[in-house]
Structure 1
Amino acid sequence: MAFALARQGALRPASAQRGPSVRVAKPGLLRSPVVAARPQVLANAAAALSVPVNELSDEERTKLAHELGYKSIGKELPDGVSLSDIVRSMPPEVFELDHGKAWRACLTSICAMAASLYLIHISPWYLLPFAWAVAGTAFTGFFVIGHDCGHRSFHKNNLVEDIVGHLFFAPLIYPFEPWRIKHNHHHAHTNKLVEDTAWHPVTETEMAKWDDSTANFFRWFLGTPLKLWASVGHWAIWHFDLKKFTEKQKPRVLISLAVVYGFMLTAFPALIYYTGVWGFVKYWLMPWLGYHFWMSTFTVVHHTAPHIPFKAAGEWNAAKAQLSGTVHCDFPGWVEFLTHDISWHVPHHVASKIPWYNLRKATDSLRQNWGQYMTECTFNWKVVKNICTECHVYDEKVNYKPFDFKKEEPLFAIQRRLIPDSAMF
């Protein structure tokens, strides 16, 4: 699940970051005059450690994890460990497909979506936000089913996967083949500067090119909780432009686009005819935005943390990027149920062919064999606050700094005071 506005002129990184051993500010130390002026930011992950993360004691890493809102922050994976070593350490059964579980997931998501639409239908206006939240989460289950199809972890027959993937992506207005191509590219280049099609930090060089309106747009869109809907931008930029695909890819891309446009030209007019424009907003648009909240949130929480770097191609290491560079985050049980455990994300990046229903067992295996190198958290205000207010601009030494790193701006000052620092929602 990846989103970005990168390579559109505004977010193309120009420099490389260092690995997990990069120096990020030690708890209690100030990294800049701006931090000195607002020390609360330090508790919200504004600074980094005075020594490489890998050289911290267990006690120091535990303290850092607490300050940043994580349950644990892993050490750096040794250079000699390959991604194949990690994959081989997992039990073979986590790779086995179970068609019964796959089809039951389809039934679960269809029933959940139908029930949530009925909930929307009967809810008074003041309960509609709750109903939309449930429907958006159920909508995300549709994506996860198509997601497994794209990774060839749904069924042994690829044609079945293509059909199911197209059908479950169509209501999301997501063209299956363009998404599959770009998403697989994200997996092949996770946390690699320029190449990763997911979020990565903006550089000062790029910021210098922004006029006031562009700067304000990105500050509001990526420097506030609106960032938790940024996958809408990725959806629009990456999946409908034929110029982004090779001639060999285009025939399948065109089929996917035809499926999406076909759905829009039939379902949308029918919905508006029978329920009106408000019905379109009520039954489709708001659940769709709820789905994008989870798309964006899962992506940034799994791949954005003050201590996790991006690296240039020459320094990039697949094992470190996939295991140590992906965060495990526990979400509420009803969310994990409706989204088919996609939040158990580390094994999915270690081996993308693991089907969703084996992710928990695969995670347990990774914890047993590689747990000291993993970062884990529970979805909480502190992690979200850091992502929205502090993790914006690439810094060669400390991974991230906020948009207002030179002088605190009112937009961010207000957020730093209003968004809680608690470790729970």
Structure 2
Amino acid sequence: MTSTIPATIPNSDATTDSLHLRDILRSLPREVFTKNRRKAWLTALINVLMVGLGYWGLAIAPWFLLPPLWIFIGTGLTGFFVIGHDCGHRSFANRRWVNDLVGHLFMLPLIYPFHSWRILHNYHHAHTNKLNEDNAWEPFQPEFYNSLGSLGQWGYRLLRGRFWWVASIVHWGVMHFNWWQFKGKDRQKVKLSAIVVLGFASVAFPLLIATIGIWGFVKFWLLPWLVYHFWMSTFTLVHHTAPEIPFTPADEWNQAQAQLFGTVHCDYPRWVEFLCHDINVHIPHHISTAIPSYNLRLAHRSIQQNWGDSIRECRFSWSLMKQITAECHLYNPEDSYYQSFKDYHIGR
């Protein structure tokens, strides 16, 4: 396993012209697409028990054990999101209403509207790394960045730099409660999801504060929620961001190239992988969203056998995050890759 992102990208004209997503799908074992009801519900049960265990510890632990418990619970809550994520892709259960119900329930403590996330996230999968279309960590183009004004530029520099870990909160607040941006039946579904989580928050938060005070609210909800958003920001940034991964204009975009070579597999500490259900085994998930999370490792081994010399694999580290947040800032129109803020200002 490599410790850094490979320095080369398979981007020859022959590869671009001949590679199709259906060919990659045919190379995968058929069993990776099979839903297993026992595995799905056991995963959900274990996740609930782990988070419950963390909250029990939080209730009885001395003050110096609170930080590791916040990290443990927040990571477990990220696992809640991953279960909702499978539901959003209809890979948790066969029945749609079961996916919708479970997705709402597991995203409820995170105050995350299920349907708005589902629709926007599926759009990301349909347009991965396509310039002006992808809605996940797409780098700003220089012209747009210049139009923001000093305050907007400052905020963008923070989110693309050392404060990347709060970007998920901004994305959550700005994009997922505005049901007016959706149309038809989607608008009604998004409105329902938003009302459900807002209604839950309007009851649960005052009740929490009334029973255990402001500090109790911070201790039992806010700080684990911030840890959850740290992982959400980190996971999603690493999934598709590297100096060698391009954002391609629509007329040059190749679906198979984007999903196979524009997605990063990242190894995290095993306890993180366990609590978050291997969501960072991410390449097969972009080859097909129908693969349940518990089958991702099997699918990835197959991809390694067929494409091991070309796919991107890395290991989570602070040096990795430093590289990404120091280099991957603005879209570079000359080559479709990234340029840093420093290089952009030097080149102007």
**3-state DSSP of counterpart to 2:101:** helix
**3-state DSSP of counterpart to 1:405:** helix
The one of 151, 154, 167 aligned to 1:230: 167
Q: Does 1:357 align with 2:297?
A: no
CA distance in 2, matches of 1:193, 1:406: 19
1:96 corresponds to which residue?
Answer: 34
CA distance in 2, matches of 1:123, 1:215: 43
Matched letter for residue 148 of structure 1? D
Q: Does 1:175 align with 2:175?
A: no
CA distance in 2, matches of 1:311, 1:73: 17
CA distance in 1, matches of 2:7, 2:148: 37
Q: Give the superposition deviation at 1:72.
A: 7.5
CA distance in 2, matches of 1:204, 1:254: 34
CA distance in 2, matches of 1:246, 1:160: 24
Q: Give the superposition deviation at 1:396.
A: 2.4
What are the superposed Cα offsets for residues 249-306 of structure 1, whole Å, 9 maximum, x if unpaired? 1221122122112211222122111111111111011111111111111111110000
Matched letter for residue 143 of structure 1? F
The one of 103, 121, 132 aligned to 1:194: 132
1:384 corresponds to which residue?
Answer: 321
Tell whether the 8 Å contact from 2:180 to 2:187 is kept in structure 1 after alignment: no
Matched letter for residue 128 of structure 1? L
CA distance in 1, matches of 2:67, 2:306: 42
Identity, % of aligned positions: 50
CA distance in 2, matches of 1:245, 1:238: 11
Per the normalisation by structure 1, the TM-score is 0.77
CA distance in 1, matches of 2:146, 2:136: 22
Runs of 4+ in 1 over 6 A off after TM superposition: none
Tell whether the 8 Å contact from 1:74 to 1:372 is kept in structure 2 after alignment: no
> After the TM superposition, which of the residue ranges 394-403 and 358-367 deviates more from structure 2?
394-403
Tell whether the 8 Å contact from 1:72 to 1:374 is kept in structure 2 after alignment: no
The one of 177, 182, 191 aligned to 1:254: 191
CA distance in 2, matches of 1:150, 1:213: 35
**3-state DSSP of counterpart to 1:376:** strand
Q: Does 1:75 align with 2:10?
A: yes
**3-state DSSP of counterpart to 1:377:** strand
**3-state DSSP of counterpart to 2:314:** strand
Q: Does 1:316 align with 2:253?
A: yes
Unaligned runs of 5+ in 1: 1-61, 409-425
> After the TM superposition, which of the residue ranges 236-245 and 351-360 deviates more from structure 2?
236-245
CA distance in 2, matches of 1:333, 1:72: 26
Q: Give the superposition deviation at 1:242.
A: 1.7
Q: Give the superposition deviation at 1:216.
A: 2.1
The RMSD of aligned alpha carbons is 1.8
Tell whether the 8 Å contact from 2:329 to 2:340 is kept in structure 1 after alignment: yes
Q: Give the superposition deviation at 1:71.
A: 6.1
Per the normalisation by structure 2, the TM-score is 0.94
The one of 144, 150, 156 aligned to 2:82: 144
CA distance in 2, matches of 1:196, 1:318: 12
2:63 corresponds to which residue?
Answer: 125
> After the TM superposition, which of the residue ranges 258-267 and 352-361 deviates more from structure 2?
258-267
1:153 corresponds to which residue?
Answer: 91
CA distance in 1, matches of 2:344, 2:32: 48
Tell whether the 8 Å contact from 1:71 to 1:378 is kept in structure 2 after alignment: no
The one of 261, 283, 288 aligned to 2:220: 283
Tell whether the 8 Å contact from 2:129 to 2:258 is kept in structure 1 after alignment: yes
Q: Give the superposition deviation at 1:407.
A: 5.6
> After the TM superposition, which of the residue ranges 357-366 and 230-239 deviates more from structure 2?
230-239
Over 3 Å counting, the alpha-carbon distance change for 1:245 and 1:164 in structure 2 is same
Q: Which has the higher helix share?
A: 2
Tell whether the 8 Å contact from 1:73 to 1:374 is kept in structure 2 after alignment: no
Over 3 Å counting, the alpha-carbon distance change for 1:111 and 1:72 in structure 2 is farther
Tell whether the 8 Å contact from 1:342 to 1:356 is kept in structure 2 after alignment: yes
